[in-house]
Amino acid sequence: MKTIDINNHFTELDRSVLEGENAYAEYFNYLRDCLNALLSSFDNISTESSLEIKVLKNFSQKFLNTIEAFRLKYAYDPTHSMLVDLTESGFPNFMEFKKLDHDLQIKDKALKNLPSKESLKQSILDHLIRKKTDPVKLLDQLSKQSYFIRLQWSNILTEFTPGTLELLNEHTDANRTRTYFYSWASYDSVTNKPFLYTMIFDNPLNEGRKDGDIDQDPKFLDTIRKCTHNTSPLKVIASDIDNAYENVMPKVLKRIEIGPIYGKYARDKHPYTILLRKQFNPDDYIFTYNTEIVFSTGEKRTKSFLSKGELRQVFYIDESNKECMERMISDMHSYMITSHNVLQYLNDNQPEDLAKLSAPVYVYDA
């Protein structure tokens, strides 16, 4: 019932099926090129730290691996039923990631039920010699086999993808506090886009605290998953994590929104979609990504009648910036990837769009 409810909130364009014999092959090539441009852009325009860039590259590569897995899954699928969001996303629909999680769980059973690769290749060869036609069913089985072999939890981006917990600093004085860096990713069920997260937090180890070393706490991952299962305002997520543990004190939380991709697959009313459709070639696109940041400026003790209360983080919201106020964040960085022709047009006709960016536009190779 839950799956049906999730599916029902999508519009027809949110869950489009591409038409045409080679439509999905062309779509996957398109996504691959866009994501490779994204990976290249991190070294050229991102304002993140070297550690954060390493994390962004890692998760982006996993997303690219996932797209390649989808290509194999649907390469010879006669139904061509993969759902794509054509409204301010450009990526596969969230339901494909629900299916992906299921496929990971049944992977071993599915591979046992498929003929061996050698047997399939021989059958394909025999079919070609005898019937002189493409053995679509056999090719689909071979493609599905490659798909399941490729599926590894550690190599792809799923509905929720944990990262690594890295120790940044350790104070050996009376406070006994460790500072950690943690990263993770999620695929949002509303916007159909991947979101990458990084968090720097303090982990006090003073005696008397309810929780011990977070590095040894199995509940930590579950808490992160629950707090970021949707795209709530970043301050809300940071506060939820802060409230979930007495000894986790978020100091900086970042969320990188990957996309949308405005281009030949977009069917929304966004000005970029309309501009590209009217003025440019089908191969031109505008790929944007944003970084939201919320940071702590200190701590305050909550009031309680029964106890002295608990320390909670005070997160800064930039009230001088309307967008920061609406998003409930401290700061925001915006980036763009596009072609030289589109950049020239924007520079001449819409320079205010470029002025909002945090770094020069990254121009991909046509």
Is residue 344 domain-resident? no
Number of domains in the chain: 2
Is the link from the previous residue into 260 a cis peptide, with omega within 30 of 0? yes
Answer yes or no: do 76 and 186 share one domain: no
Residue whose token pair is 């046992």: 112
Answer yes or no: do 323 and 176 share one domain: yes
pTM: 0.90
> Who has greater pLDDT, 43 or 216?
43
Confirm if 94 and 157 have CB atoms less than 8 A apart: no
> Who has greater pLDDT, 10 or 131?
131
Answer yes or no: do 176 and 213 share one domain: yes
Is residue 349 domain-resident? no
**Average pLDDT for 282-299:** 96
What single DSSP character describes residue 229? S
Q: Mean pLDDT in the chain?
A: 89
Is residue 36 domain-resident? yes
Is residue 40 domain-resident? yes
**Average pLDDT for 257-284:** 96
Answer yes or no: do 165 and 261 share one domain: yes
Answer yes or no: do 66 and 177 share one domain: no
Confirm if 299 and 314 have CB atoms less than 8 A apart: yes
Is residue 363 domain-resident? no
Residue 186 has pLDDT above 60, yes or no: yes
Q: Which domain holds residue 104?
A: 2-150
Is residue 362 domain-resident? no
**Average pLDDT for 183-209:** 88
Tell me how far CA of residue 101 lies from CA of 271, 281, 301, 302, in angstroms.
Answer: 35, 37, 41, 40
pLDDT of residue 217: 77
> Who has greater pLDDT, 292 or 203?
292
**Average pLDDT for 15-35:** 91
pLDDT of residue 4: 42
Strand 331-338 relative to strand 362-363: parallel, antiparallel, unpaired? parallel
Residue 3 has pLDDT above 50, yes or no: no
Residue 197 has pLDDT above 80, yes or no: yes
Answer yes or no: do 140 and 211 share one domain: no
C-alpha span between 73 and 146 (Å, rounded): 8
Most confident of 78-87, 113-122, 295-304: 113-122
**Average pLDDT for 340-353:** 98
**Average pLDDT for 37-65:** 90
Is residue 351 domain-resident? no
Answer yes or no: do 138 and 176 share one domain: no
Residue whose token pair is 């019932």: 1
